[in-house]
Amino acid sequence: MKVTRLRGACDPKPTCPTLYLTDRETMIVQGWIVEDPDQFVSPGQAVVEVPVSLLWISPAAVPQVTSILRLTGRDTAIVSGQTIDDPEVLALLSLPDGEAAVEVAISLLPEVVPSAQ
């Protein structure tokens, strides 16, 4: 999978919440691991928390994508998706302790990707 860094919450460091585009019509969302016993996670999926500013979303957009995204009320969003397990991608991401990355179809969050992409 080819991965291109789109933007991060603490540029230019790659080890904090970051958004990537892939060559498979998906995005990778890197964020803080959410360990909430009330949050159902299917096998092969994970949940991460990221600043809302990383996603460039408006609160009005959230009801359309509640299956994968919800606002926390703390200027962050919870994003669920497929766990990244590709060793080459994981090496590129250099995930620090406490962070994970999930893959989400671009079609589920179209407002996140600039129209030039």
Domain count of the fold of the chain: 1
In a domain, 116, yes or no: no
**pLDDT band at residue 117 under the 50/70/90 scheme:** very low
Q: What pTM was estimated for this model as a whole?
A: 0.82
In a domain, 40, yes or no: yes
Residue range(s) defining the domain that contains residue 46: 3-111
In a domain, 9, yes or no: yes
Task: Report whether 28 contacts 103 (CB < 8 A).
Answer: yes
Pick 116 or 92 by higher pLDDT: 92
Pick 68 or 36 by higher pLDDT: 68
Residue 45 CA to residue 81 CA, distance in Å, equals 5
How does the average pLDDT of the chain come out, rounded? 79
Cα–Cα separations (whole angstroms), residue 92 to 24, 61, 67, 104 = 17, 30, 28, 18
In a domain, 117, yes or no: no
SS3 75: coil
Question: Phi and psi (nearest 5°) for 87?
Answer: -55, -40
